[in-house]
């Protein structure tokens, strides 16, 4: 990755009409409908953007969408990249750097995750307060990282306190149950064993997924405030573990998605 490559990606999008978005939004598995809220959308498919990776997961459509939500300019990633698809950390986080160069000032992230905390249920939304990186690497571990910012990025408070507090108030006002907890990010694509779920609980995880942490690390590196939520699509009880049905996970994400859309739309309005 070079600054010249990033600039080519940005120039392509500016020429398409992506004009200084204020908010960047990353949509997780089964959570693509927020784009329906976008007024006057302009789309750029990943395979047309210079140096962009391509989305390979069937539940991720693979495009950037620019427009307005609640009168504010946004750029939305409909489809993200994962280690389990064979991408490296630089591929996964390339779009975050592009969105920052386009002008975003805040980043919203969503994902689908499994509930480790057994007080949480399928269909709950969890506000991520902190995370555990179990992906075995870092998106900042490359030779010329110093060209892009401070090598030793601070991660003492990776998720913005102000936006978290606002989201809690929005949830309360709209009668949306919003849990809070720690997100553990693993490589995947296989789901966890019973022993791994027990380990994750011992480590202090409330939910587990296969994304988000690389993007959050890079956003912190770039000085972007972040808010992130997990839509909990399955319950990971090692003593009562059933085989996972990916179709059911996608269905539960779809059922819960309107609440997430409401949270993000209201937060955009208030910031």
From the list 23, 1, 8, 218, the residue with the least C-alpha distance to 103 is: 23
Percent of the chain whose pLDDT exceeds 70:
97
**Against a cut of 0.85, is the pTM above it?**
yes
For the chain, the average pLDDT equals 94
**Strands 39-45 and 23-27: what pairing?**
unpaired
Residue count of the chain: 271
In the three-class reduction of DSSP (H, G, I as helix; E, B as strand; rest coil), residue 221 is classed as helix
- The DSSP 8-state label assigned to residue 117 in this structure reads S
10 neighbors 102 (Cβ within 8 angstroms): yes
Segment 112-157, tens digit of pLDDT: 999 999 999 999 999 999 999 999 999 999 999 999 988 999 999 9
Query: For strand 63-69 and strand 226-235, is the pairing parallel, antiparallel, or unpaired?
Result: unpaired
pLDDT digits (tens, 9 = 90+) for 170-217: 999 999 999 999 999 999 999 999 999 999 999 999 999 999 999 999
Let me know: does 30 contact 59? Beta carbons within 8 Å: yes
pLDDT at 249: 86
Q: Which CATH number fits domain 3-270: 3.40.225.10, 3.40.190.10, 3.40.50.300, 3.40.50.1580?
A: 3.40.50.1580
Average pLDDT value for residue range 56-78: 85
The answer for 175, left when phi > 0, alpha when psi is -120 to 50, beta otherwise, is: left
Nearest Cα residue to 117 out of 50, 34, 179, 30:
179
């Amino acid at each position: 990755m070079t600054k010249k490559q990033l600039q080519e990606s940005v120039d392509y999008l500016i020429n398409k009409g992506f004009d200084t978005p204020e908010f960047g939004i990353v949509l997780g598995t089964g959570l693509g409908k927020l784009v329906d809220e976008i007024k006057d959308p302009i789309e750029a498919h990943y395979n047309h953007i210079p140096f962009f990776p391509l989305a390979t997961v069937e539940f991720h459509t693979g495009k950037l969408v620019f427009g307005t939500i609640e009168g504010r300019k946004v750029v939305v990633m409909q489809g993200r990249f994962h280690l389990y698809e064979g991408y490296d950390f630089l591929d996964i986080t390339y779009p975050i750097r592009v969105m920052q160069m386009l002008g975003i000032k805040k980043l919203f992230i969503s994902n689908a995750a499994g509930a480790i905390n057994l007080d949480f249920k399928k269909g709950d939304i969890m506000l991520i307060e902190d995370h555990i990186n179990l992906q075995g690497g870092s998106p900042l571990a490359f030779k010329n990282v110093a060209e892009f910012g401070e090598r030793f990025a601070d991660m003492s408070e990776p998720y913005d306190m102000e936006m978290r507090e606002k989201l809690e108030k929005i949830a309360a006002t709209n009668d949306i149950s919003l849990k809070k907890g720690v997100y553990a990010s693993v490589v995947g694509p296989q789901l966890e064993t019973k022993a791994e779920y027990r380990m994750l609980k011992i480590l202090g995880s409330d939910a587990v997924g296969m994304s988000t942490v690389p993007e959050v690390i890079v956003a912190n590196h770039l000085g972007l405030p972040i808010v992130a939520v997990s839509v909990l699509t399955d319950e990971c009880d090692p003593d009562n573990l059933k085989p996972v049905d990916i179709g059911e996970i996608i269905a539960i994400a779809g059922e819960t998605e309107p609440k997430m859309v409401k949270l993000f739309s209201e937060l955009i309005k208030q910031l």
